[in-house]
Amino acid sequence: MATRGIGSGIALLAALWVRTASAVPTSSTPLEVAVNNPLALARHGEVLTLPMAEVLQRRPQWRSRPLAARVEGSASWLPVQAYASDGGAVPDQLLVQLDIAPKATARLEILPAPASMPTIPNPLFARLVPERDDDFAWENGQVAYRIYGTALEKTGQVFPGIDVWSKRPPRHVVDAWYKRDAEGQRLNDPSMSYHIDHGDGLDSYDVGHTPGDGGTAGWLDGAPVASRNASQVRITAQGPVRLRFEVDYPAWRVGDVTLHQHKVVTLDAGSHLNRQVVTWRIEGAPRATVAAGVAVHAGADLVHDGATRIAVWDTPQKASAGRIATALLLAPGETARYAGTRDAAWTLFDVADGGSIRFASGSGWSQGDMPDFRSWQNYLYDYFMRWSHPLQVHWPAARH
């Protein structure tokens, strides 16, 4: 029987050690993830959500390191964001924004961000505007919105509707428009108002006492009963992939019950739609009917698929401002019923105390990147399909 010498045994052990060591991922070994698009739709700027726990299970040494992502074989970096879905301080998700072709699979590499990582411009922006009666405004490259604060109530503007600002992508406009408008008031020069298009868009949307583009209310005897304006706003994430903020409103009476609502609003880079999760506390009854709506001004075109999708091709305050597209989409799996009033289309929800409703609302502009009503309806259909069929993630087997 042949025997091996000591030298050959050492060589064998060394070879085994090399193979084993090479199989153990180091802090610089990329984590490869396969991402599948199940739809026959191209997905541009799609936000992929990776649970941080799944990443750290495979690379625990990355726990305190900023991460980066790219398509395998590419030298270009994708926008990423460590994100706390509960609004807290500890991220539980890694957001990656990517393009993926219909029915395609993309292979991504996750790895620690290199020191030479270029700064990716942040298309998202939000801020409180105390100098304009406690407004709160937010935007990305495509759209801009605002809600009103308590200081504006002295003018009689008391309704928690969402205002739409029509802008031409991809510029940020919030700070510039407020600054120019304030200077116009100081100089008594109305031509500087943000109600006039200076080349980057304008505010020509009439919220009034309507829900605007996605406002919420109680519902009683076939009509909305609105709260007062927002009492508190807290920004919890500012991009570059996802903006997140929370809004609280003063409690209000709706018939025999008192309602409290707490909103979580998110807007992704490149998206026209805000996703909203509204949680309700109900005093005086175990359940209540609440509503989310979108204004329908005189002359507007309206189409809806029950309460699932509501699309409006609306009329601005100035005819020269073209048309403003607005919408409300139920989240996949959400149940509601449709109702119409003189100036709005509504989705009605029956909620229990502590329950939540989920929907998306948003806008486009005929003089921006939404040229006609058909384009808007197509956008909403594609958005709903993507929301209903998220990207599928296939992780490599974890190594221990």
Is the pLDDT at 324 greater than 80, yes or no?
Answer: yes
Region of poorest pLDDT, from 101-105, 150-154, 266-270, 304-308: 150-154
Q: Tell me what the mean pLDDT of segment 93-104 comes to.
A: 98
DSSP state of 212: B
Residue 5, pLDDT above cutoff 70: no
Mean per-residue pLDDT over the chain, rounded:
92
Residue 77 token pair: 């970096």
β-strand pairing of 163-167 with 257-268 = unpaired
pLDDT value for 4: 43
- Predicted pLDDT of residue 6: 41
Q: Which residues of 293-319 are buried (b: 16+ CB within 10 A; e: fewer)?
A: bbbbbeebeeebeebbbbbbbbbbeee
Tell me the pTM: 0.92
Give the pLDDT band of residue 171 (cuts 50, 70, 90): confident
| Percent of the chain surpassing pLDDT 90 | 88
Any idea which of 24-28, 275-279, 289-293 has the lowest mean pLDDT?
A: 24-28
- Report percent pLDDT > 70 for the chain: 92
Cross-strand pairs, 69: 110
- Rg over alpha carbons for the chain, rounded to the nearest Å, is 25
